[in-house]
Amino acid sequence: FKINLKKFLGTPIVRYKVTWDKSTGPKGSLRYRLFSWRDFAIWTRLEYRLKIKNGWKVKNGLGGAIETEYLPEHGRTVFQTKNYLATDVIPKELTMKTRYRVQGVYHTISPSGGTKIDATWDKFSDINMPSDFRSDDFELNTAKKTELNIRHVEDFLIGSVYARPRVNSFDTVKQHLPTGYINLKPYKVPNLNLIFYNYFLTSYLDYEFSDKLSPSLQDFESARLETHNIVSRPFKSSIANFTPYAGFVGIYYNKSPLKSSKEQAMFLYGANLSTNFYRNYTRHKHIVEPYVQYHAITEPTEKVDTYYVFSIEDGYNKLNLIKAGIRSQLYSLKHIRAYPTFETNLYANTFLDSNFIPKTVQKIYFD
């Protein structure tokens, strides 16, 4: 149960609350607005918690917090922090321990909408801290991550910087220290109708295992540079669209299990063949698109066990794939958008390289 005495005092400066938790017992809290100016406020919180063991022994814990809020009227920026420190009980162990959690969120969008910054941080004393204090008093929905993402959009490119360090030693995290990404606007060569697609990634990655795991698991790290370049040539007619493409993927690692740098390279090629049928209704437009796609990757220059694999993005292998399906899309005629209101995709995959993927009963997929 909860009792909020704010209703009786009639002031937003002081807030009281009494709660009862099955695992930790009764808890009383006092929240006081220490400072306020325009859209910014600082709050302090004092808590007292009891834990009754075997009906007789009483454990108690005293805690305090400092919270900040910045919520400007324009709505483009949100800044909130919750910082908690307590001498509290661990529910399963019934032992006293100093516990803390420092967390915050920051989101902002530039007035033009071209730049967006999202940041979260969350450091806590022990792995059970977030689950033991699950109330809204202690949660900012950080997903227990500490990360920074800056995204910028121009007419000719999309760029981003992403950073994610490990701040809790009991977490297993692929650290981005940081990762930069640039995606150039597709360029069309006049008269030839060739379209070039290019994006580039530069990272320093450090895969850290939890200190709670076996010491036989060794951390690994490397700088990683990637270039992804594709050229395509669409052919359109009143009956169907045919688009062949070819490209190159190159990845450089300055460290590897073999104590040397590694250069990974492979070629991509394939084609898309599709047609579509549509019908307009009063409020929607329905498009049905049968398609056949062929995707191929040549044999990579490096074997998968000769370089560090940080994620599936490093797991390139030879591929010959035919994908055939029917895509159904529903667009709103009342609210014009670049994406469908509803979409389904029914398809099947056929792998031509039977040495890599054994032949099995064909499967149909529905997304």
Each residue of 161-183: pLDDT tens digit? 999 999 998 889 999 999 999 99
Q: Does the global pTM surpass 0.85?
A: no
Q: Quick: pLDDT tens for 9-41.
A: 444 555 555 555 555 566 677 778 888 888 999
Q: Which of residues 284 and 126 earns the better pLDDT score?
A: 284
pLDDT at 138 over 60: yes
Higher pLDDT, 355 or 67: 67
In terms of Cα–Cα distance, which of 72, 153, 65, 66 is closest to 106?
A: 72
Category of 144 on φ-ψ map: left (φ > 0), alpha (ψ -120 to 50) or beta: left
DSSP character string of 138-159: G----TT--EEEEEEE-SSEEE
| Bridge pairing between strands 77-90 and 235-236 | unpaired
Structure tokens at 93: 């162990």
Across all residues in the chain, what is the average pLDDT? Answer: 85
Q: Which of 253, 255, 360, 251 is nearest to 316 (CA)?
A: 251
Is residue 159's pLDDT more than 60? yes
Q: What is the Cα–Cα distance from 331 to 341, expressed in whole angstroms?
A: 5
pLDDT band at 95 (very low <50, low <70, confident <90, very high): low
Tokens of 247: 């490209």
CA distance 223 to 263: 12
Comparing 274 with 140, the larger pLDDT belongs to 274
Residue 114: its pLDDT value, please? 93
At residue 90, what is the residue type? I
Q: What does the pLDDT read at residue 148?
A: 97
